[in-house]
């Protein structure tokens, strides 16, 4: 079972996306701020980090820089799931080389699961017919 570290401070966003990721077969651990995310990532060594940019204590861009600077974490897949800050920090976010960026306002849990499965090389569960 692959592990995702979901770095998000908004409990509603966690409630929207976490069940879909768990249903797709992922173990999902949550960090509520950037400082906790760095500590947990180092201990957990997740397969993928799902990262908000606007975070308390330490912002997501700093967390992304941290992940890319640590030899044991630099190849960890990182998906930025954010909104407001991308308009202002988009260039900085891209400079830190996330593997994918999703805008909360334009993404569904299904979109996110599909993107995560693609990044991790999973086929994922069969989609129900439309």
The predicted model scores a pTM of 0.85
Residue owning tokens 């992304």: 64
pLDDT of 130 above 70: no
Q: Which domains does the chain have, with CATH numbers?
A: 3-120 (3.40.50.2300)
3-class secondary structure, 73:
coil
Residue-wise pLDDT tens digits, 45-100: 999 999 998 888 988 889 999 999 999 998 999 999 887 545 555 555 555 578 88
Q: What is the DSSP letter of 56?
A: S
Measured distance CA(59)–CA(85) in Å, rounded: 10
Regarding beta strands 3-7 and 77-82, do their DSSP bridges make them parallel or antiparallel, or are they unpaired?
A: unpaired
Residue owning tokens 């201990």: 43
Contact between 81 and 53 under an 8 Å Cβ cutoff? The reply is no
Residue owning tokens 């799902």: 50
Residue-wise pLDDT tens digits, 33-49: 999 999 999 999 999 99
């Amino acid at each position: 079972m692959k592990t995702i570290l979901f770095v998000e401070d908004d409990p509603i966003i966690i409630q929207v996306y976490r069940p879909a990721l768990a249903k797709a077969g992922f173990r999902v651990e949550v960090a509520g701020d950037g400082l906790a995310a760095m500590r947990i990532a180092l201990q957990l060594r997740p397969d993928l980090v799902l990262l908000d940019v606007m975070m308390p204590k330490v912002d997501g861009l700093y967390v992304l820089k941290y992940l890319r600077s640590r030899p044991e974490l630099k190849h960890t897949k990182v998906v930025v799931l954010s909104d407001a800050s991308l308009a202002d920090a988009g260039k900085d976010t891209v400079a830190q080389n996330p593997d994918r960026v999703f805008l909360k306002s334009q993404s569904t849990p299904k979109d996110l699961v599909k993107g995560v499965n693609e990044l991790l090389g999973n086929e994922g569960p069969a989609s129900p017919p439309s």
